[in-house]
Amino acid sequence: MQTSTVPATRGQILDSTGQVLADNSTVYDMYAVLDKKQVTKTGKSDYVINKKETAQKISSILGIDSNIIYQQLISNKLQVEFGPKTKNLSVDQYNQIMKLNLPGIKFNSQPARYYPNNRMASEIIGLTNSSQNSAGQRILKGVLGVEAFKNTLLSGKDGLLTSLGSQTESSKKNQVQNGENVTLTLDEKLQATLENRMDVLFAGTKAKSAMAVLMEAKTGKIVAETQRPNFDPNTQEGLSDSWENLLNQGSFEPGSTMKTITLAAAIQEGKWHPNDTYQSGTYDINGQKVVDAFGNNEGTLTYRQAYERSSNVGFAHIEQSLGASTWRSYLSKFHFLQKTGMDLPNEESGSISFAQPIDQANTAYGQAIRVTPAQLLQAYSAFANNGTEIKPYLVDSITNAQTGAVTYRGKTQKVSQPISSSTAKEVLSNMAGVVNADDGTAKQYSLSDVGYQVAAKTGTAQISENGKYLDGLTNDIHSVMAIVPEQNPKYIMYIAVRQPQVFPDANIQITLNNVFRPVMLQALNENGAANKSTSNSVTVPDVRGLDLDQATEKLKALGLQAVSLGTKGTITAQSIKGNQEAVKGQIVFLTAHGAVTVPDFSSWTKSDVLDWGYLAKTKMTLTGTGFANKQSQAVGTPVTSNMTISVDFKERT
């Protein structure tokens, strides 16, 4: 009797709509037989005969210098390999080479993972490595992301095949159990928009890193998340030895987004007196100074202004009025310095310096404490849920691959109640003030033009290295945390960019808004109930299949702007899908037939211009702030493949 291992099939990873994000495949390592004694079963030569021709043909498929291949083929060996570029070949590359019928060119196959969307959400989905089990078979093991966190469930259990003489039967005790399928909370459409926007931000700022995440405010579901730099899990291009998932690893000093936590503590403790005043600029604590950003001294300010303008001195005063012990208790109540327990491996807890009075004050405005974006999301969820903090999560469900039965379903988990409902509402009101005030640091994030009230807080955090803070805006972490809408919140979004070397806009928050606005509006459009101003909301009809003129008139009748990509024929696609909610005045891009021509960009926002450029596959160069004022290409000019369009923006007076 003999037994052999039957490997389990690894489960799939899917997005919330069932789109496959990680699947099983096969890769091939190529080698060449040079031993002239080798023949096939039919007696034909089974070694490389025409070495120059073989090198040239393989070169044309794999894009390798034919001379490199040729030099290996003329070596004095019985068998040769060709280096990393001939390993992990795809099924398509393998088939192309096999069709050439080249004698002596051989392949070893091994199981692999295939990621259809390449870099999209790669830090969330993760990565597998191939290794050899005790039976000498190649197996896959998750090493990053969900692939690692849910590796046991995805892997399943190998079975045993028992051979009894001439009969072969499967042992009932050891039947193979294939891996289970894991469905994530990610929305592929929102994820694609976020990825595109982050590509533009990262390239434009030349930052060291950047990340963005969008979470459903009421459930804790992460519906989109990405970071830069990222990596391609198919090729491992971009993957470094020091790789970190910026969502729950690589903790950092958050800066002024922490002031909202201090504000909440002060309101809850009866220590928030928004109309009281203090002297901004500097504040001495036991001979050590708290300084407002950039050394600004704006004179006498109210504490409400301290929050809206993000004054460090104001919040140091608030921490002093709370007392170190009380303030420290709120850091615990909001679950900082504790892992969130979300569905990703190697989560960090963060750290704090709290021994000295100056450190205690510093933590009130986001210095001397290190947190993760996941912890910030969890803390801010309390403001969106009447004081109840909820846990962010990524795994929506797990199903048995063979039966389809759901073995696990993700659910909203309440973490704690750090503040009261009334405190949460007052915090949101103050966050809305940061957006609405003329001198508010988050005024760039206003969506009042499309009927939504945004509640937000910006952050500019210094980076500490070797015990000292680095100088200059190019050595800061710039961020924003937004809750939308203020009333009955639907989404929480966090964006951060670390050490941008280029500032493409007058204010880095304008640059971050070019990520925030299109992603948030798309999410709100998909969530029709989110609109605060329901009288300004319309349901977008499905105009696909209609004539261009008919579709345009139908949208205009509802108060929407219709902009076509193409000049004739029927509509094949629309930027806002049918039955989704939109706001009157919002642009709906329509894909038709015929030439794409340059539209009149006058009064468009940067987000709208970037949307058009993305859909038209045209390079856009944007300068200034506000609304589109001038454009380099005349209206009606046919778009060409090498065209660059410059658009200048100007603030309205």
Active site members:
256
The structure tokens 């329509």 sit at 590
* 269 three-class SS: coil
| Residue 645, phi then psi, degrees to nearest 5 | -115, 125
The structure tokens 């015929």 sit at 594
Three-state SS letters, 401-441: CCCCCEEEECCCCEEECCCCHHHHHHHHHHHHHHHHCCCCC
Contact present, 46 and 33 (Cβ < 8 Å): yes
Rounded-to-integer distance, Cα 338 and Cα 328, Å: 13
Q: How far is CA 470 from the centre of its chain?
A: 27
Q: Which of 419, 302, 271, 293 is nearest to 365 (CA)?
A: 293
Q: Which of 538, 525, 534 is nearest to 491 (CA)?
A: 525
Q: Tell me the two tokens of residue 160.
A: 């045993």
Question: Is residue 263 within a helix (H) or strand (E), and if so which, with residue range?
Answer: helix 259-268
Three-state SS letters, 304-361: HHHHHHCCHHHHHHHHHHHCHHHHHHHHHHCCCCCCCCCCCCCCCCCEECCCCHHHHH
Q: Tell me the two tokens of residue 509.
A: 């928050």
Question: Is residue 644 within a helix (H) or strand (E), and if so which, with residue range?
Answer: strand 644-650
Angle at 208 between CA 626 and CA 479, to 5 degrees: 45
Rounded-to-integer distance, Cα 334 and Cα 404, Å: 38
What is the DSSP pairing of strand 414-416 with strand 389-390?
A: antiparallel
Contact present, 445 and 456 (Cβ < 8 Å): yes
Q: Which of 385, 381, 390, 380 is nearest to 416 (CA)?
A: 390
Rounded-to-integer distance, Cα 170 and Cα 151, Å: 25
Rounded-to-integer distance, Cα 331 and Cα 353, Å: 13
Contact present, 552 and 546 (Cβ < 8 Å): no
Contact present, 217 and 431 (Cβ < 8 Å): no
Rounded-to-integer distance, Cα 408 and Cα 153, Å: 11
Q: Is 475 left (phi over 0), alpha (psi -120 to 50) or beta?
A: alpha
Rounded-to-integer distance, Cα 488 and Cα 520, Å: 15
Using CA atoms, how far residue 645 sits from 227, 237, 482, 517, 594, in Å, is 28, 31, 31, 22, 20
Amino acid, single-letter form, for residue 335: H
Rounded-to-integer distance, Cα 531 and Cα 639, Å: 35
Q: Which pairs from 19-23 meet CB under 8 Å and 24+ separation?
A: 19/188, 20/116, 21/115, 21/116, 21/117, 21/120, 21/121, 21/125, 21/184, 21/186, 22/113, 22/114, 22/115, 22/125, 22/126, 22/147, 22/233, 23/113, 23/114, 23/115, 23/116
Amino acid, single-letter form, for residue 303: Y
